[in-house]
Structures are given as C-alpha cells and as structure tokens.
Homo-oligomer: A and B are copies of this chain.
Amino acid sequence: MLSFRSATRDDVEEIVAMLADDALGATREDVEPPLSSSYFEAFETLAADPHNDIVLAVSDEGTIVGFLQLTFIPGLTYRGSWRAQIEGVRVRSDIRGGGIGAALIEHAVARAEQHGCRLVQLTSDKSRADALRFYEKLGFTATHEGFKRSLDPRRDA
C-alpha cells in the first residue's frame, strides 16, 4: 500500500537524487555532496508557502517511491477559479510501471478537487513519449503548447 505525505527538510537529499536520476534531470541538478544549500533554501521557501507542496508517495516500508510538486494558483479566469498545477513528477526508476505514478496523480487531482480547483494542468517535455501517453491515459488533454524561455538570473548580479 502507498501512503502520501508532504516532504520535510529531511527528505530533500533523496528528492534531489531522484530528480537527477533522469535523462533530462541529470543535466539540471547538482547532486555532489554536500548538497548545495540552494536546494534547502528553496525547500524552506516552498514549505512556507500554503499554495505549494511536495507530495511524497511512500511505501509500507517508509521508502519514498515517488513525488510531485502541487501548486494552487488563484486567478480571475473561469469566474475566479483556482487552478492546480503539477510539476517535477518522479517515480523511482527501478519500480516504474507499477501504478505509482497514476496513484500520485490521482491523489493530487483529489486534493485539487477538495481545494475547489476548476482544472489541473501540467506540461511534459515533448521528448518524453512515455510520459505523454501516461497523462493522456489519466484524462489529461494536450490542448495547449507549453512554452518555456530560459533566463539567467545571475545576469544582473
């Protein structure tokens, strides 16, 4: 059986290791010990924000087997509705295909419904063919283009 809980600071190293255990994530993260303080600072910001949560899927043995970030965004569109957004979904690479990802997403969707959200949205890299099929099977429709523009936050530093 899976259970779900919010991440704590003690989970940050394991979360970052799982973020990096991925073809795209490996180029973005820095898992050299000691783990960069930027991860802990980001976690503290996130944990202090009532509209952001990192949701962990945990096995019976207490092992983290997957996670995602859930963000609630208030807005005026759709008669002033909340929307929920999912980012940074990961399932432990050695146990994919066992339904953990689907259970995580459905847990997030249920939380979004409880919060009164009108929709749940996420973007998925077009190179992740398996992920695209996965979200379609879960009732998501790729009605939108997902645009990104990189910034260099150090430009003005």
Contacts and interface: CB of A to CB of B under 8 A. Distances in A.
A151 to B, nearest CB: 5
A130 interface: no
A50 to B, nearest CB: 9
Interface in A128-157: 132, 135-136, 138-153, 155-156
Contact of A145 (B71, B73, B123): B123
Given A74-B52, A80-B39, A148 B144 contact: yes
Interface residues of A, number: 73
A153 B87 contact: no
**Identical chains in the assembly:** 2
B121 A76 contact: no
Contacts of A88: 75-77
Interface of A: 12, 15-16, 19, 25, 28-30, 36, 38-43, 45-46, 49, 51-52, 54, 69, 71, 73-82, 84-85, 87-88, 109, 112-114, 116-126, 132, 135-136, 138-153, 155-156
